[in-house]
Structure 1
């Protein structure tokens, strides 16, 4: 209790908490994009429940990982040495998650661009994804994103209460944003393609990290922000052109 009181009256602790919340929210965007794309393939009546289950899984995994920090630190130690290069459990998980993301994004892009009917119109999304299959895929990526999230938290502070509060706040904000973001992505096909491009890039980064090549996250998010800005300009231009056409 005394430790909590000392943290509550420590300005440095508050600064660390606010910084960590921002970092956790930014890292959670990757998770949220994946959940939104996947749940939009479900029947509409199941989407909200699938998002809730997926985000609850993300929260539980993050909290569980926080209470196993000593084991998490041990996950950085090499356990296999193929071709003379050591791979830790963290590397293996990042590689698996990255490969899954690249496969998933590539298959979705292929489906969006290639599957057309004889009239040239896109077919519907095909067979709806099953609820259990969607949840299984979401939970698999939750694990990968959770490890990335918690390792970031551990690198910024050594106070467990600060880490737990930041994770709770970040996941709550993801809950609040998940519905509007999912609906927005569903309404705009070009946003779907942009989001899939983000997932492809994130998957490539995870694979690189798994092989020991560190890529500064700031560059990745700057590229994503720039691409999103260009897409926003294009959406604005299309809106203006449509209004102009309606007037004529």
Structure 2
């Protein structure tokens, strides 16, 4: 309990929580898009289960820091580049995310996002399985960041729990907004496609600073938000 008497601990908790929320945005968007494939009555349950699974995954990784360190050890080399366990996870996760985002974009462009009669509706088990697979990839960066920002595991765990709580509360609103605004959903899928590409690049040893990525995403979202407001004003004026 002595750590909570130190102001530095509270600063670390607030900073880490904010970082976890920012790093978790792509996870929330991915879960919202996957859950949208389910019947209406199961979507909220899938979002909550997915985010709780993300929380459990991140806490488990935090408690396995020694295993995480071993993941960076080279396993084999190809054309002069050494691949570690972390590299392989990033490669597989990035390829999966690229494929999923591409399929969703194709679905939107072919039939406007409306499910065709021959398209099979997703199952809860299938959606949760996909969420769990990507949670491991998304959690790696989150956990590595947490280890770098805080010295005590309890602070890292609390930050993860608080951030997931915030995401659970906001996931429904984000999902509803993306469903009502196809252009924002297209932008969100483009972000996931870009993140998947960066994960693959990181797996090959080409690291792109996350600050540049999030700045580009924030700027694109700002431009689209301004277009959204302009469309609403024009609709009001013509109505």
Q: TM (normalized to structure 1)? A: 0.92
List alignment gaps of at least 5 residues for structure 1: none
Q: Is the 8 A contact 2:107 2:113 kept in 1?
A: no
Alignment partner, residue 100 of structure 1: 96
C-alpha deviation, 1:127, in angstroms: 2.5
Alignment partner, residue 115 of structure 2: 124
Q: Deviations over 1:192-219 (max 9, x none)?
A: 1011011011111111111111111111
Q: 2:24 is paired with a residue of what secondary structure?
A: helix
Alignment partner, residue 224 of structure 2: 231
C-alpha deviation, 1:123, in angstroms: 4.7
Alignment partner, residue 188 of structure 1: 181
Alignment partner, residue 82 of structure 1: 78
Q: How many residues align?
A: 237
Q: 2:43 is paired with a residue of what secondary structure?
A: helix
Q: Which moved further from structure 2: 93-102 or 12-21?
A: 12-21
Q: Deviations over 1:14-41 (max 9, x none)?
A: 1111111111000010100100111011
Question: 1:122 and 1:73 mapped to 2: Cα distance?
Answer: 42
Alignment partner, residue 49 of structure 2: 53
Q: TM (normalized to structure 2)? A: 0.95
Alignment partner, residue 111 of structure 1: 107
Question: 1:129 and 1:233 mapped to 2: Cα distance?
Answer: 34
C-alpha deviation, 1:124, in angstroms: 2.5
Q: 1:86 is paired with a residue of what secondary structure?
A: strand
Q: Which moved further from structure 2: 78-87 or 91-100?
A: 78-87
Alignment partner, residue 139 of structure 2: 146
Is residue 245 from structure 1 mapped to residue 210 from structure 2 by the alignment? no
Question: 2:90 and 2:180 mapped to 1: Cα distance?
Answer: 31
The higher radius of gyration belongs to 1
Question: 1:124 and 1:104 mapped to 2: Cα distance?
Answer: 16
Alignment partner, residue 204 of structure 1: 197
Q: Deviations over 1:69-125 (max 9, x none)?
A: 111111111112122211111111011111111111111111211x24xxxx76525
State the Cα RMSD in Å: 1.3
Question: 1:237 and 1:202 mapped to 2: Cα distance?
Answer: 28
Q: 1:81 is paired with a residue of what secondary structure?
A: strand
Question: 1:214 and 1:56 mapped to 2: Cα distance?
Answer: 29
Question: 1:223 and 1:61 mapped to 2: Cα distance?
Answer: 28
Note the 1:146-185 alignment, pairs <5 A: 146-185=139-178
1:183/1:123 Cα in 2 relative to 1: closer, same or farther (>3 Å)?
A: closer
List alignment gaps of at least 5 residues for structure 2: none
Alignment partner, residue 18 of structure 1: 14
Question: 2:82 and 2:195 mapped to 1: Cα distance?
Answer: 23
List 4+ stretches of structure 1 deviating above 2 A.
121-127
